[in-house]
Chain A
Amino acid sequence: MKSLEELMALRDAAKLNMTTRDGSTEATRIVVGMATCGIAAGARPVMNKFVEEITKRNIQHVTVAQTGCIGMCQYEPIAEVMVPGKDKVTYVQLTEEKVAKIIVDHIVNGKPVAEYTIGAIKE
């Protein structure tokens, strides 16, 4: 260890994995429906894609959690994105490709992907 910068770089790298343990209310939460209906529709690769993308892009303060059946089984896999201070966004019929776009547009750039949301389906 030769400098403070070196230590800080190490800290930032280490901090990513610690977000899961954060428990802070400032973290963005991504909740994936993982009941039988969700799993049958392919929720597990979807959830893993979220985690993979977050890791790849080194995005801090985002946690990925599982939840039970949301009640709209025909729209599974479903994920809800909760950014503190913003309205909850519900994405439906997710695929790994859709997840990649949600991470870039919504999580990184703050613009929800309207065409993947529950609202878009109902129209």
Chain B
Amino acid sequence: MYRSHVLVCGGTGCTSSNSQKIIETMEAEIKAKGLENEVQVIRTGCFGLCALGPIMIVYPEGCFYSEVKVEDVPEIVEEHLLKGRMVKRLLYTETVTPTEIKGLNDTNFYKTQHRVALKNCGVINPEDINEYIAYDGYQALAKCLTELTPEQVIQIVKDSGLRGRGGGGFPTGLKWSFTAANKADQKYVVCNADEGDPGAFMDRSVLEGDPHCIIEAMAICGYATGATEGYVYVRAEYPIAVARLQIAINQAKELGLLGKNIFGSGFDFDLHIKLGAGAFVCGEETALMTSIEGNRGEPRPRPPYPAVKGLFGKPTTENNVETFANIPPIIRKGADWFASMGTEKSKGTKVFALGGKIKNTGLVEVPMGTTLRDVIYEIGGGIPGGKAFKAAQTGGPSGGCIPASLMDTPIDYDNLTAIGCMMGSGGLIVMDEDNCMVDIAKFFLDFTVDESCGKCTPCRVGTKRLLEMLDKITEGKATLEDLDKLEELCHYIKDNSLCGLGQTAPNPVLATLKFFRDEYVAHVVDKKCPAGVCKSLLSFSIEADKCKGCTLCAKKCPVGAISGKVKEAHTIDTTKCIKCGVCMDSCRFNAIIKK
């Protein structure tokens, strides 16, 4: 036993802000002080509060150091680990009160969260199977193999009300029962870790922070559906996740938790990792399977559904990472426990990746039915700079936006669908008054145009034409008639595309048109961008009475568009101006105005 554990976040977020170097320095300092047999340094997965990274937690005190730098490490070792005095200046400010040091779970960010899928993330060492087992790991698999029949396992998953967390929200137990019902010499389990939505990173974090729970869940799924082989399809852009998953698979094989005759039950299960090249369409289940088979990642028509004819033509169950992460706790704690959380038709919890104009960027898990307001203001800490909330984009390029007027809608699958949005994988991008909604729609469409695989015409050509129309609008060249055409084309693409990518690609356009039509009209009729984003509709000018003639803007302007004599009012040559805004940022007298 080590008297003190130092947990340092080794998720992608904190790793990119140098947590690896912090760990190395920490270990060296601990050794220099002769504490290596007393203090253990553990590299964990994501804690969720990525905005404050790199994050470090020291136990047994449980004190939470945020934004730790390599230079701070010697002080932490000397003061805290050697002498037992916390380094107060590095503690997360919210945990420090005049009278006491609060625990992490009492902070606003964590106290209303309810962690099921992320339970072990930031808690255990993902590269040590013993730590997973210490927190009841692999007990669910043992219970299934030694006490339950496959039918009973499926029934528990059905009763729990778990629905697919990848976006579609299809009932997981039902999906499993379809595969189980089909007789075949070989069946497969596939884990979809091809997280493609810009702004979503919960699947990566689960794989990085708790890879064993996915292995356990896939083996359970294999037992329930009669599959003996599984594939995890994970994008190659997630090197940390891939490395930890591989370590976890090797450890599970060594202990006989994967392989032949697991728990003496006669059940065999083996797992492979398949790296994806990062194409968005490969997150679509049929395209993903085509890609695993070694072909170009293109979707195929359904039916036949994967439960009948999936990977290599065999019955296949495919679930998302977060869906699988919920399986072991459901088996261990029971369907009733899971069904007690959430709303009537959406049970359990959902992980959201908070991004965009929000203070606490990071990963949060809340019960289904929590309102957007709670997620953004209570947990997320609100919008920086006191700006007004405009909308939140859910479901990335396949989803839609929730405007401020619907902030109190309880978030679940059905409520989001009812307002024309989509749960999606759970990326939540927050936008404030400075975001132009037409520009946002254009951003997402630009993404789908790039990512359309090209197999079907409505998606390949349709999205391209949509993007051109949006370009026309943001350049102030469109007419009101174009808005109607835009909407018509959206519906055509939705109705005629082959797979989910095309069927959902127009959603960002439709949602912004529905809730922010006035912004579109402002671009078309007034030729103005109300948020001041669309460059073609902007012009910069200098207010002569405010300008002191300091020449700073003229020096900063990259294209030499500003002229004027020292101590006299300057002017901007709009024919040269590229509307970069540098002059406005540099002016100390607020003399430059953007219209």
Contact = CB atoms under 8 A, between A and B. Distances in A.
B5 A21 contact: yes
B558 interface: no
B131 A18 contact: yes
B224 interface: no
A68 interface: yes
A65 B38 CA distance: 11
Contacts of A64: 3, 60
Given A1-B257, A2-B256, A10 B133 contact: yes
A21 B1 contact: no
Contacts of A83: none
Interface residues of B, number: 37
A100 interface: no
A85 to B, nearest CB: 19
A50 B3 CA distance: 9
Given A34-B83, A34-B84, A68-B84, A3 B1 contact: no
B138 A7 contact: yes
B589 interface: no
A16 interface: yes
Interface in A1-55: 1-4, 7, 10-11, 13-23, 27, 29, 34-35, 47-48, 50-51, 54-55
Given A2-B264, A3-B263, A4-B263, A20 B4 contact: yes
Contacts of B262: 1
Given A7-B142, A20-B60, A21-B123, A65 B1 contact: no
A63 interface: yes
Interface in B102-157: 103, 123, 130-131, 133-139, 142-143, 146
Contacts of A74: none
A interface SS class: helix
Given A2-B256, A4-B263, A65 B60 contact: yes
Nearest to A1: B256
A79 to B, nearest CB: 12
B499 interface: no
A11 B134 contact: yes
A30 to B, nearest CB: 9
A30 B45 CA distance: 29
Contact of B59 (A10, A14, A21, A51): A21
Given A14-B131, A21-B123, A68 B83 contact: yes
A20 B256 contact: no
Interface in B366-410: none
A20 B59 contact: yes
B142 A4 contact: yes
Please list the 8 inter-chain residue pairs (A to B) with the smallest Cβ-Cβ separation, ordered nearest first: A66-B84, A14-B134, A63-B60, A14-B130, A1-B256, A55-B1, A64-B3, A4-B142
A66 B62 contact: no
B32 interface: no
Point out which of A21, A34, A63, A67 has the most chain B C-beta atoms below 10 A from its C-beta: A21
Contacts of B103: 23
10 contacts: A1-B255, A4-B146, A11-B134, A17-B40, A18-B131, A20-B1, A20-B5, A20-B59, A22-B60, A64-B3
Contact of A51 (B7, B38, B134, B264): B38
A11 B3 contact: no
Contact of B84 (A20, A51, A67): A67
Contacts of B133: 7, 10-11, 14
B535 interface: no
B272 interface: no
B60 A51 contact: no
B227 to A, nearest CB: 19
Contacts of A7: 133, 138-139, 142, 263
Nearest to B7: A21
A39 B137 CA distance: 40
A18 B135 contact: yes
